[in-house]
Structure formats: C-alpha cells, structure tokens
Structure 1
Amino acid sequence: MAFIAGIQVIHAPASALNNAGMQPGSATENAVVVKALRINGRSYPYVSAQAYRYWLRRTLEQLQPEGWTVAPIFREKKVAYTDANPVEYADDDVFGYMRAPGKSVEAADSRAAFVDATETKETVTRVSPFRVGTLVAMSDGLVQDFGTMSRHEGDPVPHEHQFYRTSLKGMFSIDLGRIGVFTYENRTGFLNLDEVRRQLAETRGLAHDEANRAYRLPDEVRLQRIRALLSAMPVVDGGAKQALHYTDVNPVVVVMAVVRGGNNPFYYTIDGDRQGLARPVLEAFQEIGEVWGDQILSPLYIGWVEGYASEGRQELEQNLETLQQAYPHGVVLGHPRRVFARLAEELERHPEWLA
C-alpha cells in the first residue's frame, strides 16, 4: 500500500478565506465572521476540508487536465448527488461518493442537462482516496473591519466583517492503490459498484480481480487521474471575500513523499513563527529521515516559494546536504509547482506503487 503523504501551507496576507456566516448580536446587525478555532482564549482561523475540496474540484473543472472527467450532478427534491460512476468520471473516483437507489430526472447544473443519471440498484458508497485535513492558522488574531453601503439616498447602511493575516497548514494524502480500483464488497465505503456499474465495468473491459471483489482501470488511466490531481493542487484557486481580500491560495510550502501505509509523518516538519509565517524544523526533518526512512519510497519533496519567509528556504538550502544523507532516496527542493511535477514524473517510473 503506497500513499502520497504530505503537508501544505497557504499564506493569507489579509484574508477571509472561509466564513461561518452572520454574527448574531453584532453592533451593526450585519456582520460576517470567519471560521476559527478557539484555543486557550485565542482565535485561530481555519479553512475547512470541505472548502478546500470544493476549491480543488472547481480548479480541476476549469483546467480539465488530461484524463480528468467531471461527474454530472443531479437533484431529487432536497437531495443532490453526483452520478456516483467512478468508471466514467475521475471526479467520482478521486473524491468519493454516496448515492441511494433511484434515478433522477432533474439536473442540478448545466453539465448534467443532457446526461441521464446512471440507474442505481442499491446504495453505493466510495471512500475518497484523496484525503485532506483542515488548514489551520499558525498564529492567532482577527481584525474586525467596518464599512458602509452609501451609494444611495438616505442614511448609510453599516456592515462589518473579520479578516486575518497568517499562514495556514494542513495535511493531505492520496491512496495510490485505490485510485482507479472499484470494489463491490458489501460494506460501507466499499460497495463502489452495484449491479449496473459492474456491468458497465465489464463492458469497458476493466480488469476483474475476483479474489478482492474489485475492478481495475488500466494503470495508464489511473496515472492520468493522479497526474491531473497533482497538476491542480499547486494552482488551486478559490476562497471567500476575494473581491475585498484578493488572496493567492496556491501552496507556498509543501512537504511530501510516497510512503508505505496511510501514516503521515511530516506534520511537525513545519512550524509557525511569531508572525504566522512558516519555518522549517530541521531537527524534525532529520528525525523523520532516520525513523521513517524504511517506509519512505520516494525522494522527499520540499516546495518553498522564493520570497515567502526567505529565511526558511535559505535554512533548508544551507542544510540540504545533511538532509540528503538522512533520506534513502534523497531530497528535492524547489518551487511547489515544480516539485509536484517531479513527483508526477517519479510515479511514471514506479508502477508498483499502484498495486
């Protein structure tokens, strides 16, 4: 079992990327608050995993990289769902789904306007092979900003909202052995295919693994879907309040590698300073190489944008030779987008990681 395990940091210089809604009892009666954790009396802003996944899915829709297909969305009264068809749609494969029996006739978006929903004989569910953690601020502090709507006759209408300056850190993981592999085991999360979808898998010529009750896409198609995901993560676009607090949400720091099993040892390699900027913890990098070296299958990839917390990147460059010795497959240091591309290239050379 091989996983891409990593952490990423996005920088929010003056931002409100994920809001919790209106604040009751505010002075203006028109106040928007950001999502935040309350720890020891201090507020730490965060971006929910749901929000980040939405950004990433929309980015993939817009980019349409090779091998990526977007699942149509359907609606029945108060229930909305994707087609839940991972054979046809990379979107359903990578991000998972749950769909109960039934057939929708109402499209919830223009993509589905001329697409019939795949008939569903029994409830199908799929655990997402792509996992992402909440992006949590590395420093506390919220600013309350006041404004008015005054482009009309009469008294201006006051309003207020929160924003912050910090960097936010979170984990991610990609289960390489699950992308493009669809089981029909009758338990929650593993009944990916019902009778209708199994017939489709047979028609499309997917390899049938009877022993593990699974169907498998060709490795080339599976790699395309993984490469598409890796190409979108360093250019992800999204976030709330962009008209007022335009923010680039691309990762400014990423640390990742291919590892055995689903553990993610890299969370403590990056910490925050007093200004909420990322800094490398060299002792943690060194210890992970020594302790987890037998579980790390690829080079360690470190992406760090030049100009962001420059002392951190300089510290890594000055100690790169020492780090190289600590990791059995070496260390790659560069811009986040380049290291994502290097990792995608490495996958091509190791089809055994998809097993």
Structure 2
Amino acid sequence: MTYLVGKVALDVNAGAPNNGLGSDNVARVKKLYAGGLSHPYVSAQAFRRWVRDSLPADERRSPVFRSGSGKNQQAYSSGRPDRYLDDDLFGYMVAVSKGSSCQRDTVLATGTLVSVTPEKPAEDFGTMSRGFDTGANPVLHGHEHYTADLAGDVLLDLARVGTFETDGSGLKVALTSAAAQEAAAGGAERIDFRGASALRLPLAERRRRVAVLLRTLAAVRGGAKQALHYGDRTPSLTLLAPIKGGVNPFTRVLRARDRRTFFDVRVFTEELTAWREELDGPVHVGWAPGFLGDQREAVRAELADAIGSGSIILDHPRIVLNRLADEIEGGQHDVWFEDTRK
C-alpha cells in the first residue's frame, strides 16, 4: 500500500486567514504558544474547508443536514462516499438512529498549518462613521493580522480512496446496509480490505478522485478577512512522496533559523536515505518562485544529481500537482492503489 505524505506551506502576508474567539471588540487570529512565543496558525478544519470549497464547480458535494436545537444540535453529511468525493476523502460521522449510523475516518489527513517562526500579530484599529450625524461618536473596532510562513503535514491513504468498509459494529461501518446495496448495484466491487469486508469503486473513478484533489490543492482559495486582507492561499510549497508504510519523514524539513523559515536540505536528504526502501516513486517538490527568497535555487543546485536522475521532481507547485494528477488519472501509478497489508 502506498500513501502520499509530505508538507504544505502557505505564505501569508498581512493576513488573517483563520480567526479565533474575539475579545474587547477585537477579532483575534488563532495562535498557539511554544516556549512562550506566539505562533499564528490555520486550523486543519479551516484548511479542509478551503479545499472542499475549492473543488471544481461540477463536482457534486455531499449535502449537509442539521437537526436538534440549542446544545443538542448536530450536523452531518449524507454519509455516501460512493456518490460524493468529499464524503470519500474527508470522512464523516452520521449518528442519527440505530441502523442508520455510519462513520468514515478521513482518507486525507491534514495537520494544523502553524507559523514556522514565532510571529506576534499586529492589531489593526478601525472605525465606522459613514452616514453618522455630525459630531456623532464613531463605532470602534479592531482585528489582528500577521505575516508568516505556515506549514503543516499531509497524508493521503491511496488504497482507501473509493474503498468503504461494510462490516464491523456501531459507527465503524462506512455505509449503512441500504447504502451498501445501492453502491454494489451501482458497480462497486465486494472485496476484503484490511481485515474487513468492503466495497470498492472502479479504478477509473478512484484515479479521478485523487486527480481532482491534487488539482484542487494547486488552486486552493479561501480564508477569512478577504475584504481587508485578501491574499493568495494556494500553497507556496508542497512536498509529496509516495511512501509504502504511511510514515511521514518530512515533518522537520521546514524549520526556523535566524528568525526565518529555512528548508533544511540536509534533513531532507538524510530522511530520503533512511527511508529509501519505503519510497515508491519520485519525491515531488512544488516550490513557488520567490518563496523563501533565494533558497529555492540553492536547494535546486544541491539536489541537482537527484533531480537529473528523476528521483526528485522540483518545479512550481501548480505544475508539479497537475502533472502528478495527469499521471495518476492516466494509470501510471495504479500500483499505489493496491493494498498489500498482510
């Protein structure tokens, strides 16, 4: 079995893409503290919402249902990964009544996108007085924003794309019995998968779904405060490696050095050496020109031999992701979809 694992990095310039709870009439950005220093972040939930919202317009989304009131409210999607790509890749929990409950763990795992270096958000002060009478006091408000390089880990379990467990107990099944019957009638194949019975969509559809996801990652848009702090939210750097066991060895590739984000090529190459036997193809590095200054060309020079041999592919994120999507959809990596777990 093969997983695509690696990193995603965003270049935020005077932005406030994900906000937490406000206080004192000030909208606060989300941030955590390490060693007493502030690190702004974008939650995994927010980034996944951006990706979902950035799916092609003709890609059907799973409808969302809401029930209850007050503290007893719940919201859930239709729980039909056979019909909807987002239910398949992002997972869900439908807990409504006996016989109608089902759950799917995520196929696309995403970490929190945290500022690599400590950054203290600035507080922007504003007023609203348009149309007020002369001499009237303005309405005061404020919000935070920051400039930072955010990075987080990603993992895509390729064998589970389009594969849905149908036995187990409680919420462990991905499809209800009625949904499983419909999926089987629609062409899904019955298989044994990781110790459970499952239904699997045709390979062409599984290829298509991964290709759609990769192309969407190349064109992500979204985030809060777009009116005041519009900015590009496509990844400035992506690193995706096909790894047989699903371990992500690249979590320490981006780190802080001299208060700047630094791509540590020594860490990168040592991890490649340590995990060489688990690699199942080239490592794909998408790196936007201008991100991290002149480091891109310095890293390209240090990796020249590996790039020349094809074991590392380094290009613009959009080019790398779209090319990999084309290869997967064209059947060049079908072995990645096969589960070989014993």
Q: Is the TM value for this pair above 0.5?
A: yes
Please give the per-residue CA displacement for 1:301-343, whole angstroms capped at 9, x wherever unaligned: 1111112223111112211224448xx8611110001111222
CA RMSD of aligned residues (A): 1.8
Instruction: Name which of structure 1's ranges 180-189 and 246-255 shifts more when overlaid on structure 2.
Output: 180-189
Asked whether 1:353 is paired with 2:336, we answer yes
2:240 is aligned with 1:240: no
Aligned equivalents of 2:327, 2:171: Cα separation in 1: 30
Q: Distance in 2 between matches of 1:345 and 1:36?
A: 37
Partner of 2:21: 21
Matched position secondary structure for 1:147: strand
SS in 2 for 1:4: strand
Looking at structure 2, the residues matched to 335 and 127 of structure 1 have their Cα atoms a distance apart, in angstroms, of 31
Q: Deviations over 1:127-146 (max 9, x none)?
A: 01000000000122211111
3-state SS of paired residue (2:238): strand
The equivalent residue for 1:174 is 156
Cα offset, 1:165, TM superposition: 0.8
1:75 equivalent among 61, 66, 70 = 66
Once the two structures are overlaid, the 10-residue window that deviates more, 128-137 or 33-42, is 33-42
- Other-structure match for 2:146: 164
Aligned to 1:117: none
Q: Quote the Cα distance in structure 2 between the aligned partners of 1:188 and 1:53.
A: 26
- Structure 1 partner of 2:313: 332
**Matched-pair contact (CA < 8 Å) for 1:127–1:189:** no
Select which of 308, 314, 322 maps to 2:291: 308
Question: C-alpha separation between the residues in 1 aligned to 2:19 and 2:333?
Answer: 41
Work out which of the residue numbers 201, 204, 208 in structure 1 matches 2:190.
Answer: 208
Q: Identify if the C-alpha distance between structure 1 residues 238 and 171 changes in structure 2 by more than 3 Å, giving closer, same or farther.
A: same
Give the share of equivalent positions with the same residue, in percent.
34
Aligned: 1:64 with 2:57: yes
Once residues 169 and 19 of structure 1 are traced to their aligned partners in structure 2, the CA distance between those partners, rounded to angstroms, is 17
Aligned residue type for 2:2: A
Residues 206-259 of structure 1, C-alpha deviations (whole Å, 9 max, x = no match): 111157401110000011111110010121111111111111111111111111
Contact 2:101 2:170 survives alignment (8 Å): no
Q: Runs ≥4 in structure 1, deviation > 6 angstroms?
A: none
Q: How is 1:258-337 mapped onto 2 (pairs within 5 angstroms)?
A: 258-274=242-258, 276=260, 278-324=261-307, 330-337=311-318
The partner residue of 1:31 within 26, 29, 32 is: 26
Q: Tell whether 2:181 aligns with 1:199.
A: yes
2:48 matched to which residue of 1?
53
Aligned mates of 1:239, 1:210 — CA distance in 2 = 40
| Aligned with residue 323 of structure 2, among 320, 332, 342 | 342
What is the aligned counterpart of 1:144 among 116, 123, 137?
123
Distance 1:344 1:137 in 2: 28
Q: Which moved more, 1:164-173 or 1:144-153?
A: 144-153
TM-score, structure 1 as length reference = 0.87
How many residue pairs were aligned?
326
What SS does the corresponding residue of 2:151 show, helix, strand or coil? strand
Q: Deviations over 1:177-212 (max 9, x none)?
A: 001001113146640012111111221121111574
DSSP 3-state at the match of 1:202:
helix
Deviation string 1:105-133 (CA, Å, 9 cap, x unpaired) is xxxxxxxxxxxxxxx82320000100000
User: What's the CA shift for 1:274?
Assistant: 4.3
What is the TM-score when the length of structure 2 is the normalising length?
A: 0.90
Q: More displaced, 209-218 or 166-175? A: 209-218
Q: Which amino acid aligns with 2:285?
A: I
Structure 2, unmatched stretches of 5+, are none
Q: Distance in 1 between matches of 2:184 and 2:265?
A: 51
Structure 1: distance between partners of 2:335 and 2:60 = 25
Instruction: Describe the superposition over 1:248-292 as per-residue Cα deviations: whole angstroms up to 9, x where unpaired.
Output: 11111111111112211112222234454x432111121012101
2-structure distance, mates of 1:337, 1:298: 19
Q: Offset at 1:64?
A: 3.3
Which amino acid in structure 2 is aligned with residue 300 of structure 1? V
Counterpart code for 1:84: G
Unaligned stretches of 5+ in structure 1? Answer: 24-28, 103-119
Residue identity matched to 1:205: G
One-letter amino acid matched to 1:333: L
Partner deviation per Cα, 1:54-86 (whole Å, 9 max, x = no partner): 1111111xx236xx4311112222222111011
Inter-CA distance 323–310: structure 2 relative to 1 (3 Å threshold): farther
Aligned to 2:321, the other structure's residue is in SS state helix
Contact 1:32 1:162 in 2 (8 A): yes
Residue aligning to 1:26 = none
